[in-house]
Structure 1
Amino acid sequence: MTIEQLITFLLIGIGLSFDSFAVSVSCGLMKREIRFQQACLVAFSLAFFQGTFPVIGWLIGTGVKNLISSFDHWIAFGLLIFIGIKMIIEGLKPNGRLQNFDPFRIRVLIGLSVATSIDALVVGLSFGFLDMPILFPVIVIGSVTFIASMLGMLFGKNIPAKRSHQSIVLGGIILALIGTKILFEHLFF
């Protein structure tokens, strides 16, 4: 593991965690009396799915890697750019009124966790295409998401909801830049 790989995995983890951060901020805004154990439950669920979905994507990606090895970097680039742009667009949408929902209901919590982890599935798919190891990135992604989610709930009690949208835009930019880096490395190095 090189320092460059570590930094890349940290940036991917940060980029992917912005959706979970935004959801956590919303939870903090709506449930200002949230207890530490409840916050841990929400953060764990978000981190668990965020860490599991890349493994599923990686398994799919490694299974079809030999069929697409000559253009896998273009697929990884396209997927990360697509996710990044999608996140930027979501972050730029005007703030709507937060719906009143209970993030502690298991159905709601799992729904939020899955919804914020779809991007992680695609990143895992890219890892599989590029034949990258998965264990360390998954640990990093899950850990970063847990921390970001806990901070999001804490900040949700103290910051305006508008900032959560700005964090999604930043996450999208980070993922798009990582996709560009992957393409650049495969084309020129």
Structure 2
Amino acid sequence: MNPISLIFLALAMSTDAFAAAIGKGSSLHKPRFIEALRMGLIFGVIEAITPIVGWAIGHAASRYVETWDHWIAFALLLGLGLHMVYNGVKEDVEVEEKPGKHSFLMLAVTAFATSIDAMAVGIGLAFVDVNILVAAGAIGLATMVMVTIGVMLGRVLGTLVGKRAEILGGIVLMLVGATILYEHLSV
């Protein structure tokens, strides 16, 4: 795989995480750069691990994962997106303080949901001549940068549009899940 293709692959793999990060950033109370970087690292590490896992699975049982990856991604992204939309439309009984940071578990689940497609890419990379560690590193680095930027952008959007940004982030997650499902079912 040539370096240009690798860069485009890494950027493409990070776009759904970027959209999720905007929603996550908007739901926080003025996230600082260090929190954005923390989220970027969590997403980046998980996004780097999943193509390696996919690559390993590609050698062992590619048909099983390729058959179900889109359903898993769709279900996780739909659930997370619905949760974000619910939080955005529910009426506040009292003034709710936005958290200063998200829990590791919530971030890890979101990161995993947005990285299922990277696992499928890893499966595909098992059948071409590519250094999976270099490809996974590029995907993880691009995701870390995009998520960090997304969280900071979500901070700005969150102060401008409030709960609408969380609703939009949830809708984007559901659309990403539906797109993944559609792309796999229409083939």
**Structure 2 counterpart of 1:154, from 152, 155, 159:** 152
Using the TM superposition, give the Cα deviation of residue 154 of structure 1 relative to its aligned residue in structure 2, in angstroms.
1.2
TM-score with structure 1 setting the length = 0.64
Report Cα offsets for 1:63-84 as digits up to 9, x if no partner: 468xx9xxxxxxx9x999x69x
Question: What CA distance in whole angstroms lies between the structure 1 residues aligned with 2:20 and 2:87?
Answer: 11
**Structure 2 counterpart of 1:165, from 148, 156, 172:** 172
Quick check: 1:20 aligned with 2:17?
yes
Between Structure 1 and Structure 2, how many residues are aligned? 155
- % same residue: 24
**Structure 2 counterpart of 1:52, from 14, 36, 49:** 49
Using the TM superposition, give the Cα deviation of residue 97 of structure 1 relative to its aligned residue in structure 2, in angstroms.
5.0
Query: CA 1:11 to 1:97, structure 2 compared with 1: closer, same or farther past 3 Å?
Result: farther
Report Cα offsets for 1:109-144 as digits up to 9, x if no partner: 221121111111111011013343212111110111
| 2:91 match | none
Question: What CA distance in whole angstroms lies between the structure 1 residues aligned with 2:146 and 2:29?
Answer: 17
TM-score with structure 2 setting the length = 0.65
Gaps of 5+ in 2: 89-95
Gaps of 5+ in 1: 69-75, 181-189
CA RMSD of aligned residues (A): 3.7
Question: What CA distance in whole angstroms lies between the structure 1 residues aligned with 2:123 and 2:55?
Answer: 5
